[in-house]
Amino acid sequence: MKNRFEFFTPLMWEHEYKLIEKYLESDDILLEWGTGNGTIYFSGLVKEVISIEHDIDWVNSIQKTIDAYEIDNIILHHVSQHTPDPIPCRYEQFKDYIEYAKIKKFKFDKVLVDGRARKYCAKSIYDIIDDDVIIFVHDFNHNDYNMVLNIMILLNN
């Protein structure tokens, strides 16, 4: 499928976003934590992108690009964090951001976790997905995110 926004390269290695692309279909609704170039890029491949972002300045910047290119299939949601960014992220700091998709009862086909508190976002969404939903976690090879796989294995048993 041709991507009308292929020039908005996601901030990922090419093999990473090409792998995600292989699983996306034109009628998919993509839920995403972490707004950016990938939001725009993937919007060229799917029916709709629902994107959750904690940084209001970044939301405003991306919204200007969306408006400039008249992109009508991205829905941005700003959800503030509770405290400044510590490293590593703590659940309490991003609780509203993490739980937002569950609270709003979004309907979606695929999930891209590419923002803050990734392991917590992945666990939160796992509790409500259907068996056919695919979750992509960017930078999955990061030691802290390996916990996501352990949680999903435990939840499946």
* pLDDT score, position 97: 93
Mean pLDDT in consecutive groups of 10 residues from the start of the chain, 157 residues: 89 89 96 96 98 95 97 96 73 91 95 87 86 78 54 46
Tell me whether residue 34 is in a domain.
yes
Question: Which string of b and e fits 85-107 if b means at least 16 CB within 10 Å?
Answer: eeeebeeebbbebbbbbeeeebe
Please name the residues in contact with 69: beta carbons below 8 A apart, sequence gap of 6 or more. 5, 40
- Dig out the tokens for 51 from the structure: 């994107």
Which CATH number do you get for residue 107? 3.40.50.150
Whole-prediction pTM value?
A: 0.86
- Dig out the tokens for 45 from the structure: 């491949």
Distance CA 40, CA 63 (A): 10
The residue range of the domain holding 53 is 24-156
Q: What is the DSSP string of 66-97?
A: HHHTT--SEEEEE---SS---SS--HHHHHHH
Tell me whether residue 112 is in a domain.
yes
Tell me whether residue 118 is in a domain.
yes
* pLDDT score, position 118: 81
* pLDDT score, position 5: 94
* pLDDT score, position 57: 95
